[in-house]
Amino acid sequence: MKPKVLVTREVFSETLAYLNSHFDIESNQEDYILEPDALIERARDKDGIICCLTDLIDKRLLAHCPRLKIVANIAVGYNNIDLAACSARSVMVTNTPGVLDESTADLAWALMLSAARRVTEAQSYVDAGLWKGWHMRQLLGVDIHHATLGIFGMGRIGQAIARRALGFSMRVIYHNRTRVDAEIERRLNAAYASKDELLAQADFVVLQLPYTPQTHHFIGAMELDKMKASAILVNSTRGGVVDDAALIAALKAGTIRAAGLDVFENEPQINTGFLELKNVVLLPHIGSSTEVTRRAMAMLAARNAVAGLSGAIPPNLLNPNLFG
């Protein structure tokens, strides 16, 4: 008898074909978000769950799913999963690192460029029929080239963002829990800085931190006050790393110049204060959303599930302690 696996959100036809060759699949191809009770009901007899960041995998779900052996998240971040609770029940948890690094870095740069050059504001200006011709001070933005880029979180995606800065002749500074190897710093022309030094010096502050209790509101009113009035903040990692209410207040007051956001606290709900501002670029969490990348993410999660339910150690296991 094949193991039973729940796929909680819509995936691609090749992913389903691969999974069907190994498992008895139940798939939510209608792609509605499964509320906690509905998720539990559909998962209670499953050996595996292939899920997304919209799915809460917590102690309550685990208590109702005694057969569960693996949770394969189609994401790098896994703050939707109680990893400790899964480990306590010997449930493997995997993610999808690597395949989305470059696409997510591209999106961070799209936010930087859009906020710096007022792209969405200019689009609205044209759409509204307000453009009457060229003039000298029309929608003046700021330069990215030769500016200082500050990156919080110098993992794979942070390094990909920094690598792109070389082409813009930017000075790169970064802050990380641990300093990266000297060779990486040399290759990226990046210098380590304290949190306060980065906030004070950077023209562009880009966040690439995981969301954890320790990074909750990593950027709040106090941090925004330490930034340059001309600075631009980019959050392309996870909502909750930024205090959205404090950011709205800072953007209104001119504490910082602008922001580019792909993620929000309590998304998909969004603080309506953002909608009243012109100096913010708002995107609906599309950091990894390219055709190639999303297909690769879904297939990697599927391969993790196949490995885990075949008795092998999945390649992207987040709780390797289960295997000693």
Give catalytic residues, as residue numbers.
238, 267, 285
Rounded distance between C-alpha atoms, residue 99 and residue 87, angstroms: 25
- Cα of first residue to Cα of last residue in the chain, in angstroms, is 29
CA of 103: how far to CAs of 98, 260, 263, 290, in Å? 10, 16, 15, 7
User: Whole-angstrom Cα distance, residue 168 to residue 155?
Assistant: 21
Interatomic CA distance for residues 311 and 324, integer angstroms: 15
Edge-to-edge strand list for the sheet holding 92-94: 24-27, 4-7, 48-51, 70-73, 92-94
Buried b (16+ CB within 10 A) or exposed e, 155-191: bbbbbbbbbbbeebebbbbbbbeeebeeeebeebebe
Q: Are 79 and 58 in contact (CB under 8 A)?
A: no
Q: How far apart are CA 13 and CA 178, in angstroms?
A: 41
Radius of gyration of the chain (CA): 21
Distance in angstroms (rounded) separating the CA atoms of residues 277 and 124:
12
Q: Are the C-beta atoms of 70 and 310 separated by less than 8 Å?
A: no
